[in-house]
Structure 1
């Protein structure tokens, strides 16, 4: 994504953190609703209710015509799935992407889960190692001088796990819009990447597949599926870089639990 990087003040980051915690609560409600027999529309409604009750606005609903509050992608659907009448079954791998706006500032986060009981170890590896790659990337951001260090940390985890990155889909800057400069790659690329500095707010979101990096977009012009039908996972957090450290905006604890295994402690925005 081209364009000037929008740097934020501490006060602006604090508003983004308010939006982020609402997103976290919406995703928790969606996770609880994602049980065998539920439709993806019902899961979407659970997240929508949390956002509405908080007095926030969905940043997905109406975005380029998108018709729902969340993106819900099942099994071979990797990202941008449209909630509807699909009934979830035990063993399905489900990715839920959600965002909210508070006072004009955006939060964006995603989770993956296995409905009911996992069908096999590969699905568990897919979900858990994609999540680990997210936290590895966030941990790298804490001391990175450039964003390619984040990308490398993500790739190190997914490559070791035998997972494939979804090519052509990336993380992004976030702030007064949901998608801003800079792009945040999930794998190493050539060239000089943007510098990490105070005021930077980004959404890191690894998207991985068990079998292929190639994908197709369905006739709905939204849903991205793996080219070979293999399953995928998607995790995301929005993170702020400030003068004293980093803070995960879409986690009430600032990312403390997720960062602890990497020896990184987030610093509150004050």
Structure 2
């Protein structure tokens, strides 16, 4: 299913996107050395409920997961990159943490992810990975607009990641969204330009370049949900929800001005 939103739907999507971004930036500020992943999940729950929004994750039960996800945010640490299920883990100095959040508010979903280092320990290789995903995300957004094709976005993302020297997994990638979290079209993180679905105004897309330092192979953790690098290497993931407009693409998952200084 591909949904095309009208002006009212896009306005609601903007509100949802801001909420998602504000929660992520708040959690980034709170995720310090000694913070437990279960605390992050609880704080996220409180902010979602306070906003009278709904988590897209608690009852999420796709074929690749083991039962309902049962938590409010994905917390992936170090070698975990996608669907990190919060558990009893205390963050240490130098941990690489990815937070991924999808929320529904007023009938419209927004989805975003950020990766960052915890504490003060210098981690040049991890910083380079995070930077590569952020640059790839920016490239994908720059390629988006009415008339562009999905392959144009995939190619732009993949070109940045490949130039940086990272293998690219194509099992999981970006996607459409609207009244539900995952919709068509699927957006792989590498591809050929000029191919695939042609974008049109009113379409919402979640673009999400993610990488693993030295492999493109994923393994599933014992919790049945968390996807990790097969070699145990570190990972990074950046994601924004964008709206296709008559002029180009608007990023919906940007924080309010009071939190903008924390934006990655």
TM-score under structure 2 length normalisation: 0.90
Residue of structure 2 in register with 1:39 after alignment: 36
Pair 1:226-2:235 in alignment = no
Contact 2:25 2:255 in 1 (8 A): no
- What RMSD in Å do the two structures reach over aligned CA positions? 1.9
Pair 1:167-2:164 in alignment = no
Q: Aligned ranges for residues 112-261 of structure 1 at < 5 Å?
A: 112-142=115-145, 145-188=148-191, 192-252=195-255
Pair 1:19-2:53 in alignment = no
Post-superposition Cα deviations, 1:75-131, rounded to whole Å, max 9, x if no partner, equal: 000110111211111111111001211122111111000001244311110111111
Distance 1:131 1:185 in 2: 16
Pair 1:9-2:16 in alignment = no
Distance 1:159 1:36 in 2: 33
- Please state how far the C-alpha of 1:219 moved relative to its aligned partner: 2.4
Pair 1:60-2:57 in alignment = yes
Distance 2:248 2:154 in 1: 19
Residue of structure 1 in register with 2:45 after alignment: 48
Residue of structure 1 in register with 2:75 after alignment: 72
* Ranges in structure 2 where 5+ consecutive residues have no aligned partner: 62-67
The total of aligned residue pairs comes to: 252
SS of match in other structure, 2:57: coil
* Ranges in structure 1 where 5+ consecutive residues have no aligned partner: 258-270
